[in-house]
Amino acid sequence: MTAVARVKQHLIDPEICIRCNTCEATCPVGAITHDANNYVVDAAVCNFCMDCVAPCPTGSIDNWFMVEQPFTVDDQFGWNELPPRPAEGATESLEAIEDEASALLAEAHARAGGRARAPATASKPRINLFNRDNPAIATVTGNFRITAADAESDVRHIILDFGTVPFPVLEGQSIGILPPGTDAAGGPHAMRLYSIASSRDGERPNTNNLALTVKRVREPRDGGVFQGVASTYLCDLKLGEKVQVVGPYGATFLMPDDPDADIVMICTGTGAAPFRGFTERRRRTSSTVRGKLLMFFGARTPQELPYFGPLQKVPAGVLDKELVYSRRPGAPREYVQDRMRTRAGDVAELLRRETTHVFVCGLRGLEDGVEQAMSDIGRQYGIDWPALRARMLEGGRYHAETY
Amino acid sequence: MLEGMNVDYDGLIPNNVGLSEDLRVRKALETWHPGYIDWWRDMGPEGFQQALVYLRTAVSVDPKGWAKFDYVKMPEYKWGILLAPAVEGRTIPFGKHKGEPVWQDVPGEYRAMLRRLLVIQGDTEPASVEQQRHLGATAPSLYDMRNLFQVNVEEGRHLWAMVYLLQKYFGTQGREEAEELLRRRSGHQDTPRMLGAFNEATPDWLSFFMFTYFTDRDGKMQLEALAQSGFDPLSRTCRFMLTEEAHHMFVGETGVSRVVERTCEAMKAAGIADPADIEAVRKLGVIDLPTIQKKINLHFSLTLDLFGNEISTNAANAFNAGLKGRYREDKLADDHQLLGDTYPVLRLVDGKIAEEQVPALSALNMRLRDDFVVDAAGGVSRWNKVIEKAGFAYRLTLPHVAFNRAIGEFSAVKADTMGNILLADEWAAHKDDFLPSADDNLYITSLMQPVHETGAYAGWIAAPKVGIDNKPGNFEYVKIHE
């Protein structure tokens, strides 16, 4: 079967719109128009600048469909409600409006075993508020190493402050960094995506900033040493320097808001970033939370495990954590999937609950190890893991983001 | 980001008008500020002043920046002076100065007229806060309570917007007018607000939704007309106010819609086929559709009075002078001077309602009112779609413009909602069929019980389809106890 190319279309929900004209007055390219019945977006004109989204008083403006053939302005004038959301393809989901970020996220989510869906109780994410033509400018207000000084791996916790510019994010979303300068071909450097490592209300409650967990990429290649463009740029940033940020992106790898949701978080290295956000969120809403957080976190050594120190201070009541090391001197190599098997009983108990969400984040290949461990645990406890995983994917309860 | 877009939050008064360099105006506003806070404490929302309310505050007038949400105690809300960005090379769009560069200062010859326009607009802003001050106590949900308070703080900010213009451009007289705006009181016997509809009570939440739907929509039309002004600071002020006003329209339209939805839902569940079976419907604890219709009749007719007389030389003068345009003047394709044009107006001729062609300049009030009626009809058709979807044949309508009027030509007669002229005794006999009766109001009042549980709604109103700021259903929009 040939896949039909789909395009993203911006639509206004006529059931919620109150025809206040704010969007039409705001749109810088004249894409929005109206008749006596509806306000509509002309797909041929809309450039996804998102200027209309924040001023809309109703939320009706924030609808994005993947369609084979865009609805015409006349189609939209006739609507009393939005048409049914078109069935989406196996890999398509609206994680970002622009193709560059979309492709990066599609790649990161490609190995979950099915199409990504947001948890049913996740807050509605804002995406693409800033793009290459109009990036947000953030100021570096923190940059410190979170792996031991003598460890080989240099992982940094970088705090970006947005000042008075609103940059709303949710735990699990990513942002894009535009490194300054040009690549070998003279064009702008490709955008790099980083998961947000803080919770939606900032590093401290009600601060307008966010944190990233960035590993300096420095590896032998072709007889020399390859240094990652974006990671080197970020890791070398000084306090007060300005950074061009685009996004936010991501509409599926999101934390469930349900305080009863149990969350299993499986990660290696900087894959811990979104889970730091999840954990902070839970900690700040702790009075209402009843769901469990169970984390399997792997690194080569304790010295190379990002946030090793701060993690020790998170109360066990908030986070049940398993830190696993594959290169600890004098100890056998252990990987996250091994520790999952050790905790098979607890994992199985969580898998049986309809409230449980599983998130996997880390280097590519992690999802295979997790898959085997889950299958083993399933066999041991009489759970049909492939069937359960399919059901969890369908319900937005299984997520993998690897790179 | 462009200069002048970001708001300076460092001083006492957030602003994007360079207040820190304008000592005279800053002093005047800082002198006015304590009186404003006193007014807010005396006449603003009763109770809840210490509650944390999830409010929207503008941090920039750029589209990306004017909707920052956070928990705020209302007296600590950042009331500020925010003007939409200036449009380079803008010219006066209408009237006899059409095509001349816009004024950055008040032209001497129009000083009095402009001051009057500002004071009338300014007076409505605190008035509605006063009218709504008791509603917090009976909020049907935390979501609705938050919306009420958002409307209130923004009406407060709109007062600031007008006061800034008065103090910046009108010297001593402007300062005196600014004080008077804090002194008048809605519904007060001796010092009432200037316009009738702003002295009426807003006794219950259905009235509040109707008020924000109809009466705030008059505000929208007036702001749209003033946003066209050749006096550029007024134009820029009103353009930014319109973005806030849209939220008030939203509260009204969705508020009434949710009441209608809940009523239909309850009727359906109880198997009631006839929406006019008021007794049966009221047993369900919801507001029957005929009573909702009466509320529409009341608030629509009160609001029409705000548009003034059918034939008005004031309106003609303000247009000629380039101070107040028509609704979306910039979208109209005519000569924008209207000297030889006519406009059809409904008038009372020999005791009958008849359409007459009158000079377009003197009919500007009616033109704005007609635009209002079209705008208002849009929401009514949405409400009808809710009823239709639920499978009921009942339809809500706007009454005739001659119905229940206190200002203009039709104030001399009594007309029914279809526009038929009635004799005095006919009116007396049928008044309660058209307007909410004492019993209707008592029934509505009986439903007004507060609901403070997160995510819960009173039985007479449906939950909203979408939360504010994309928040989930159980979000705590107001933290009452902190």
The domain segmentation of chain A, as residue ranges, is: 7-92, 136-249, 262-402
**Which stretch of DSSP H or E encloses residue B112?**
helix B111-131
Pairing between strand A155-161 and A209-215?
A: antiparallel
Coil, strand or helix at B321: coil
Closest CA to B96 of B86, B111, B109: B109
Residue of B nearest to A128 (CA): B64
**Calpha distance B305→B326 (Å, rounded):** 18
CA distance B243 to chain A (A): 6
Cα B56 to Cα A166, B69, B77, B149, B327, distances in angstroms: 12, 4, 10, 10, 27
Partners of B378 on chain A (C-beta within 8 Å) are 19, 36-37
CATH number of A136-249: 2.40.30.10
Q: Closest partner residue to B250 among A20, A21, A51, by Cβ?
A: A20
What was the pLDDT predicted at B66? 67
What was the pLDDT predicted at A87? 63
Closest CA to A255 of A41, A140, A77, A401: A401
Mean pLDDT of A246-259: 91
- Both tokens assigned to A134: 């109009």
CATH number of A7-92: 3.30.70.20
- Distance between first and last Cα of chain A: 29
pLDDT of residue B6 exceeding 70 = no
Mean pLDDT of B275-296: 97
- Both tokens assigned to B116: 């009057």
- Average pLDDT score over chain B: 93
What was the pLDDT predicted at A92? 47
Partners of B374 on chain A (C-beta within 8 Å) are 36
**Which stretch of DSSP H or E encloses residue A48?**
none
The CB density around residue B237, as the number of other CB atoms within 10 Å, is: 28
pLDDT tens-digit series, residues B407-425: 999 999 999 999 999 999 9
What was the pLDDT predicted at B262? 98
B63 touches chain A (CB under 8 A): yes
The region of weakest confidence among A95-109, A286-300, B181-195 is: A95-109
Considering only residues B10 and B357, tell me which one the structure prediction assigns the higher pLDDT.
B357
- Average pLDDT score over chain A: 89
Residue of B nearest to A124 (CA): B470
A355 touches chain B (CB under 8 A): no
Percent of chain B with pLDDT strictly greater than 70: 98
Mean pLDDT of A329-337: 93
The region of weakest confidence among A283-292, A301-310, A348-357, B69-78 is: A283-292
Residue of A nearest to B151 (CA): A57
A18 touches chain B (CB under 8 A): yes
What was the pLDDT predicted at A5? 67
Considering only residues B3 and A255, tell me which one the structure prediction assigns the higher pLDDT.
A255
What was the pLDDT predicted at B170? 95
**Calpha distance B71→B116 (Å, rounded):** 37
pLDDT tens-digit series, residues A300-313: 999 999 999 899 88
Percent of chain B with pLDDT strictly greater than 90: 82
What was the pLDDT predicted at A91? 39
Partners of A21 on chain B (C-beta within 8 Å) are 246
pLDDT of residue B482 exceeding 80 = no
What was the pLDDT predicted at B217? 94
**Calpha distance B146→B125 (Å, rounded):** 18
pLDDT tens-digit series, residues B326-384: 999 988 999 999 998 999 999 999 989 999 999 999 999 999 999 999 999 999 999 99
Q: Calculate the CA B234 to chain-centre distance.
A: 18
The region of weakest confidence among A53-67, A91-105, A228-242 is: A91-105
What was the pLDDT predicted at A4? 60
Interchain pair A18, B379: CB under 8 A: yes
What was the pLDDT predicted at A323? 95
pLDDT of residue B62 exceeding 90 = no
- Binding site for NADP(+): what residues of A are annotated? 195, 215, 270, 326-327, 362-363, 401
Partners of B390 on chain A (C-beta within 8 Å) are none
**Calpha distance A275→B447 (Å, rounded):** 46
- Both tokens assigned to A231: 């990671």
- Both tokens assigned to B22: 């304008």
**Calpha distance A20→A24 (Å, rounded):** 9
Confidence of residue A90 (pLDDT cuts 50, 70, 90): very low
Contacts of A59 (CB under 8 A, 6+ apart): A16, B466, B467, B470
- Distance between first and last Cα of chain B: 37
CA distance B239 to chain A (A): 10
CA torsion through residues A31, B243, B102, B97, sign: positive
What was the pLDDT predicted at A304? 93
pLDDT tens-digit series, residues A109-138: 888 877 888 898 888 888 888 888 889 999
Burial B255-274, CB ≥16 within 10 A → b, else e: bbbbbbbbbbebbeeeebee
What was the pLDDT predicted at A397? 95
Cis peptide before A205 (omega within 30 of 0): no
Q: Closest partner residue to A164 among B7, B470, B471, by Cβ?
A: B7
Confidence of residue A94 (pLDDT cuts 50, 70, 90): confident
ipTM of the shown complex: 0.81
Task: Give the fold, CATH level 3, of A262-402.
Answer: Rossmann fold (3.40.50)
Q: Do A227 and A233 contact (CB within 8 A), yes or no?
A: no
Residue of B nearest to A22 (CA): B243
Interchain pair A54, B67: CB under 8 A: yes
> Best interface-test mutation with A: which of B150, B223, B258, B466 has the largest number of A CBs within 10 A?
B466
Percent of chain A with pLDDT strictly greater than 90: 59
**Residue A106 CB-half CA count within 13 A:** 14
Contacts of A352 (CB under 8 A, 6+ apart): A383
Mean pLDDT of B134-153: 96
